[in-house]
Chain A
């Protein structure tokens, strides 16, 4: 059967993950540091609220932008936690996780041939979403020696007269890199001069360890150029709930909401009730989770050091991104052999763009014994590689 798929699909980067998943699926006793989600249960008050509304039969469509009460709580939360100011009625809308936000923004803003600047190594969904909307993806290099921060000189190299959107993701997946106000300021002139819109994915905003998270939307000169994208997944351990949000100037949100209404009608009503409680009542859960991640980050960093894998110290998110260039293997081959020899699953850096080649992503969103076991297996594998080089 010839299904005559869209030509655009041919331009999508292939998934390196599916091959590794099938490899691991065929084995027993597999240990994974491959998952990009917190390992905590969603805090009980959030679950209880949604259960209550489910039992109550509150299962109808809800407003396309999300309940106003939820949008108010999101605006309050962003103000309370990060000092951001958004009008909940006109500048905030809910999405189906952060992922729909990414898709929505590109759909609404891209014309064929427009260029989207995507820092790499970077979260793997940006590129396919941009390509599907007809954009040309232009990578912007995040260098290990710069702590995987975005530097103005790298941005300058990537900008052309077709550049339209700059994607940012700090704290970032997969590097754990963070940006401070001082790091952002050198980018501001470039953003204004080249009339760029900024999509700032701040889904890991609460997981910045040594410096308070700073949103680029706080810089007044570019506030209305910034589309803040975030969600509940990482902060409140709500990945499976699929609840995110966009904050931006009214005109942008009006158009995003118009398109979203046609795509999904609304975000799941039941999850929104839980979301209200998360934003309103659950700040106290955040330091507990953050402290737990920080402990595990230090555990895995010290393990990697003992193994002899160089690794830039990540200041945010829950990933480490060690450098494996010394072995002369592609990251996909490294990960495939690691699964076959030691039944340990890591994510190859190449999944995060060409600039991720030579690295692997290890999530430390796992229990201490799981991390210790993974480090043991990784250490054995690295010794074997060194002996058999």
Chain B
């Protein structure tokens, strides 16, 4: 971007280590990534179990669960920014049932969780589809054998369904972790990193540093840290989750 530049060795990385705002961005990003991954997996599994039957109503439900996934994150963010404002739909609905709402996008102790909820809402459909595919690949004779042995529903889930869902959990966890660490669109549309710097994520910080403050070198060093973070976490998570995958 600039015709001239100075070689400054690892100064940018040294500055990064001391940069409190970047540290905060890493914390926010990790918080989003961990909660989104856990909750989306949980809700995705629940919804997959709910719609893993034959019939038009279940097919329609699958479509409903998957619809948010095909929407652009920008559009999702825009829709939720209207829902989450102080006089938005959510607070009005809460008012009807006698509950006090809050300022979902301005309350600093809540706003990160508002963003997380929006991302979970969107990514849950992906988890549902992956879990559904995995569920349907489990041989039915295993359930028949369990029935003959006198297993109840919980025992069937614990000893057959859950262990055989491991490949699905691996895929969902890795994909969600990677996409959550890169989270940008929803944050920009909902809060643009605010109020103040409360919801600034690493990707947002990189874009602002590079294209607002014109500090491409410093932004690049942040991007390298993000790359390493995603790389290391992905390898660790895949290694750990692969260990618990089983075949009957």
A in complex with B: no
